[in-house]
Amino acid sequence: MFLSRVLARALCVVLALAVSTAASAQSPGPLTLAQALQRALGANARLFVADRDIAMAEGRRQQAGAIPNPQASFEVDNALGSRDYRGLKSAETTLQLSQLIELGGKRDARVAAASADYDSTRWQRAAARLEILSETATAFVAVLGAQQRVQLLERQVAALDRLSPLLLRRVDAGASSPADVARTQVAIDLARIDRDRARTALATARRDLALLMGQTSPDFTAVTGNLARIAKPPPYQALLQAIESNPQLMRWTAVRAQKEAELLTARLKVVPDVQASVGWRHHRDTRDNAVRLGISVPIPVWDRNQGAIREAQEAIGKTEAERAVNKLALTSTVGRAHDAITSALQELDILRRSVLPNARKAQAAIDDGYAQGRFTLLELLDVYRTVAEAELREQETLVAFHTADATIEGLTGNPLTLAHGRTP
């Protein structure tokens, strides 16, 4: 009895620990950029599609190297006629095996085209992977920036709320008018409206990030990262060299190889293939047997595949043009992102070196002076608004910096700043 009670209690403890462990494992927590990137790569449907494309291309490559199947045929001649050929008494029975023999390297050309197509799909997957990383990093930065914006606006609302008791005391003492209370309430309400808008934007950004990670709703409480960590970008010319290794551009090398192999295939189609056959013939009336040998070769007189050859030639030229268009688009994207980072760094330098320190210094001075009656309420509200605008401007600039950084690093394949903790 005692032993059974002990075992029951032990079982209850184990079950409680298991439930507690499962609950703690499932409870959402802060999300880092590295975790977001890993989850996005594991759940994004585009990579699943790309993997299937690679498998399909592998199947085409395997099939391209297949040798044509032989053909077996059975023929009966001189049968079911009249007089001497009535029934099967004079029938000639032929059993024949035929094989198409491809000449001119057609099979090798098909394999080369299919192999290049396989390489192209692999580059496409690599490009999709970089795009997912860049999109996820951008969405992560949007959530992190929205979180900070909400915090800044909540701090602004709290600072304005602290003015109300002081203002009421001044009204009671006759140092301020009731209109000042109304002005302060207007400022507080406007700040709350901005905060509520920021909360809505945060909810939207969280949902967008969750969708990239394969979730319909966020399963994390917040994201964690340091937007203040910035770094000077590489020179523009270095970025232009780096995008040459972008999978989107590398893919065109494989595409061109595929088109050249298809052109070779079109040219080789003119080369006649040999149809060789060997058979066994039985003459029923004489009961004699014989071997039948045959070779057939098409004569390329009317159809020399000129249309298909021209199409393949034009396809190669089109590939070069499409690569040039793709490169121009990447160059434009990198250029805009580089300009955005450069502009953000210049703006952050002014904000941190001059605007924010001076605004906070002015706020401290006016805070002290307002309590002593040396400044008006309008001057106090104005300096509060100035500090809030400067802090929000810094936060927006940091978001713009890291968004552009994610764009550049998504095109060049370099590690992301927030994920790997680069320092200025």
pTM (two decimals): 0.80
pLDDT tens-place string over residues 348-395: 999 999 999 999 999 889 888 876 777 777 888 888 889 999 999 999
Domain residue ranges in the chain: 39-68+102-270+305-420
Out of 8-22, 276-290, 349-363, 401-415, least confident range:
8-22
**How does strand 274-283 pair with strand 92-101?**
antiparallel
Q: What is the pLDDT of residue 148?
A: 94
Out of 119-128, 176-185, 216-225, 228-237, least confident range:
176-185
Please provide the average confidence, as pLDDT, over all residues in the chain. Answer: 84
pLDDT tens-place string over residues 54-84: 999 999 999 999 999 999 999 888 777 777 6
Sheet holding 274-283, edge to edge: 71-77, 92-101, 274-283, 288-296
Distant-in-sequence, close-in-space partners of 344: CB < 8 Å, separation ≥ 6: 230, 397, 398, 400, 401, 404
Q: CATH homologous superfamily of domain 39-68+102-270+305-420?
A: Outer membrane efflux proteins (OEP) (1.20.1600.10)
**How does strand 288-296 pair with strand 274-283?**
antiparallel
pLDDT at 314 over 60: yes
Strands (E), 146-299: 274-283, 288-296
105: left (phi over 0), alpha (psi -120 to 50) or beta: left
pLDDT tens-place string over residues 4-39: 443 344 334 333 433 333 333 344 678 999 999 999
Q: What is the pLDDT of residue 377?
A: 77
